[in-house]
Amino acid sequence: MKNIKFLALVGLLFLLGFTAEKERNTVTLFLIGDSTMQDYARHSDYMEKRFPMTGWGQVFPAYMAPDSLAKLSQLVGMDAVVVDNRSIGGRSTRSFFQEGRWRSVYEDLKPGDLVVIQFGHNDQSTKGERFVSVEGYKEFLRLYVTQARQKGAMPILLTPVTNNHKWADGALQNAHGDYPDAVKEVAAELQVALIDLNQLSMKAFSRYGKEQLGARFFMNLDAGKYVAYPDGLDDNTHFQTEGAKAVAQLVFEGMQSLRREPGMVHVSTTTKPRPAATKFDTKEEILARIVAPTFPDKDFFISEYGGAGDGTTDNKPAFDQAMQASEEAGGGRIIVPAGNYLLKGPMHFVSNTELHLEEGARLFFSSDPAHYLPVVATSWEGTLLYNYSPFIYAYQCENVAITGKGTIDGEASETWQLWRDKQKDSQLLSREMNNNAVPVAERIFGEGHYLRPHLIQFYDCKNILVEDVLIEDSPFWCVHLLMSQNVTVRGVRFDAHNKNNDGIDPEYSQDVLIENVAFNNGDDNVAIKAGRDLEGRTLGLSTKNIIVRNCKLKGLHGIVIGSEMAAGVHNVFVEDCEASGYLKRGLYIKSNPDRRGNFTHLL
């Protein structure tokens, strides 16, 4: 411990030695990423609790010594570089942003700084709080790149470093799926400096063989060797010191081939820059990408799990069990025959599952708010937060569908509608949290806050079909498509007249087809949104490539763009739609000077 304290003191004196020169000839190199980059030694109990675990960012400052900087003159052009490592374990591109960690980096950025960005390990995780789809991953990378440049800093993208899991023919293989290619695509699209750390580390590490590599570079430890791991450890993701140094060397060598971005000047961030001129996808190109999901040929009859359409039995346990059975079987179709099925609580979807309501089948939901707790990750009027669960909720699912001639009835005209007059304080609080960039994990609503849940919500989902069902009496918006893509809503019928009973709300979503729908809503039929206020502008996840055709419009407004569209709405096609009853406005573009936003290309 004495040696460690001495080294820390030397490091402190070294920093103090050039602090006076910092503003004139020093830049900061920020590291943002996950546990493979993290600095574990910043904690005073490192030797007792974590050693020898070492993130490559932990040893990277050694490569910023004066003699090494000479090799980076074309990139840095300064006498000194301060490494500020903000990476932390367990974070994905999404959670790093939602916890307010990027905001902290953004506020500290100065013109001329560098931002090295490496995520991917947790983005592909099966843990819900970490997972980000490949498209979502790309959007968050775009966000970091764009905002770094807004502050006059230079972003550098890294593909995720390899682990020691996947080998073939004596060589390491890519274990990160499509995520490395996604980084390359964003780098090419935005002309960002790129280091293909995934490929570099696979090539460099393969020469050791799996066993030697695991013993020397990764956290595969014998029992009794280290105080922090008395029982040993088998970990082929995190590095020992030798592995961390090898990765840091690869990053340093990669930086030697990079050049400073031209025109590194401060850009005002008072308003989000307008999108550059873009070639918009044609309707035919969009339709070619929108493909309805298919499902395994397996049927799960709700009666087999205790379901009863007698109007009094609580069918939530039956649907929970059917969803679990579908998940364990790799997917299939849950079949609900004619009858009245009460659910005292929400139905939570799993991937690769179709809910099929036969003609005469009616799902209706309890009006007791306590049945929709605990709170879940959701959104309310354009602000991400935690609130009562939507009645039918799909979160980070792929290949999901609701089909059939049956009915989904929110039974909301009494209890839930009384909440609208009580929601004001919580509504204002959610907006305040949004504009103050309060981390999403701290935006907890639910009991006592009177924010009505959605009837159906698909959140961060891919490959969605909603077809033929009748949707009635929703507590809030009827069908909310949040951060989702490849969506088909076809042949659906609405009879929903409560306050704020929008029909279909695509938000932060893309590649959405809405066709042959018969609307009859108390509010907007289709409301195309893209988040609100600071959060929407910061996320920058525009809603785009929306096609609405052959629909019958009836209600307050027909096709609406806004007013929550802070991240922008682009490329909307409306064709062959007709009013089948009262409409105050057929096409309505809502603007709000406080929220801001932009909209392009309506056909």
Round to whole Å and give the CA distance between 589 and 598.
11
Question: Final residue of a domain: which of 255, 270, 302?
Answer: 255
Buried b (16+ CB within 10 A) or exposed e, 446-473: beebbbbbbbbbbbbbbbbbbbbbbbbb
Q: Mean pLDDT in the chain?
A: 88
Note whether residue 346 is domain-resident: yes
Which pair of structure tokens corresponds to residue 213? Answer: 């590599």
Question: Final residue of a domain: which of 206, 237, 255?
Answer: 255
Round to whole Å and give the CA distance between 140 and 147.
11
Question: What is the pairing mode between strands 339-343 and 485-490?
Answer: unpaired
Round to whole Å and give the CA distance between 585 and 561.
12
User: 570 has which bridge partners?
Assistant: 544, 600
242 and 327 share a domain? Answer: no
Note whether residue 211 is domain-resident: yes
436 and 525 share a domain? Answer: yes
- In total, the chain counts a number of residues equal to 603
Nearest CA-CA partner of 503 in 561, 456, 571:
456
| Count of C-beta atoms within a 10 Å radius of residue 570 | 22
351 and 441 share a domain? Answer: yes
**With pLDDT > 90 as the criterion, what percentage of the chain qualifies?**
67
Which of 39-43, 226-230, 280-284 shows the lowest mean pLDDT across its residues?
A: 39-43
Round to whole Å and give the CA distance between 350 and 329.
11
263, pLDDT greater than 60: no
Q: Which distant-in-sequence residues (6+ apart) come within 8 Å of 45 by Cβ?
A: none
Round to whole Å and give the CA distance between 579 and 551.
9
Question: What is the pairing mode between strands 479-482 and 504-507?
Answer: parallel
Torsion of CA 303, 309, 311, 312, to 10 degrees: -20
238 and 330 share a domain? Answer: no
Q: What is the pLDDT of residue 148?
A: 92
Read off the CATH number of the domain in which 227 is found. Answer: 3.40.50.1110
Most trustworthy range by pLDDT among 229-243, 444-458, 557-571: 444-458
Note whether residue 1 is domain-resident: no
pLDDT digits (tens, 9 = 90+) for 425-464: 999 999 999 888 888 888 999 999 999 999 999 999 999 9
Contact (Cβ atoms closer than 8 angstroms) between residue 117 and residue 160: no
340 and 214 share a domain? Answer: no
Split into its structural domains, the chain has a count of 2
pLDDT digits (tens, 9 = 90+) for 140-194: 999 999 999 988 899 999 999 999 998 999 998 999 899 999 999 999 999 999 9
pLDDT digits (tens, 9 = 90+) for 345-392: 999 999 999 999 999 999 999 999 999 999 999 999 999 999 999 999
Single pTM value for the model: 0.61
201 and 329 share a domain? Answer: no
Question: Final residue of a domain: which of 255, 275, 307?
Answer: 255
Query: Mean pLDDT, to the nearest integer, of 75-96?
Result: 86
113 and 203 share a domain? Answer: yes
501 and 436 share a domain? Answer: yes
Which pair of structure tokens corresponds to residue 441? Answer: 């994990």
Distances (CA, A) of 586 to 73, 126, 497, 555: 60, 43, 18, 10
User: 12 has which bridge partners?
Assistant: none
300 and 223 share a domain? Answer: no
66, pLDDT greater than 90: no
Rounded to 5°, angle at Cα 186 from 185 and 187: 90
Note whether residue 268 is domain-resident: no
223 and 294 share a domain? Answer: no
pLDDT digits (tens, 9 = 90+) for 286-336: 999 999 999 999 999 999 999 999 999 999 999 999 999 999 999 999 999
Torsion sign, CA atoms 208, 210, 211, 217:
positive
- Which residues constitute the domain of residue 458? 283-465+474-602
Note whether residue 98 is domain-resident: yes
290 and 334 share a domain? Answer: yes
Note whether residue 10 is domain-resident: no
Residue 594 banded pLDDT, cuts 50, 70, 90: low
Round to whole Å and give the CA distance between 247 and 9.
26
pLDDT digits (tens, 9 = 90+) for 507-527: 999 999 999 999 999 999 999
Which one-letter amino acid corresponds to residue 70?
A
Q: What is the pLDDT of residue 322?
A: 98
Round to whole Å and give the CA distance between 69 and 231.
41
Distance of CA 461 to the CA centre of its chain: 10
22, pLDDT greater than 60: no
57, pLDDT greater than 60: yes
Round to whole Å and give the CA distance between 525 and 586.
10
Round to whole Å and give the CA distance between 347 and 332.
16
Read off the CATH number of the domain in which 548 is found. Answer: 2.160.20.10
80, pLDDT greater than 70: yes
Q: What is the pLDDT of residue 6?
A: 29
Round to whole Å and give the CA distance between 156 and 87.
15
On the CB side of 433, how many CA atoms lie within 13 Å of its CA?
Answer: 25
486, pLDDT greater than 60: yes
Note whether residue 267 is domain-resident: no
The backbone torsions φ and ψ at residue 198, rounded to the nearest 5 degrees and listed phi first, read: -60, -50
Query: Mean pLDDT, to the nearest integer, of 537-564?
Result: 91
Distances (CA, A) of 559 to 100, 282, 286, 474, 509: 35, 20, 19, 19, 16
Q: What is the pLDDT of residue 367?
A: 94
228 and 316 share a domain? Answer: no
Q: What is the pLDDT of residue 280?
A: 84
Q: What is the pLDDT of residue 3?
A: 37
Q: What is the pLDDT of residue 68?
A: 80
Note whether residue 273 is domain-resident: no
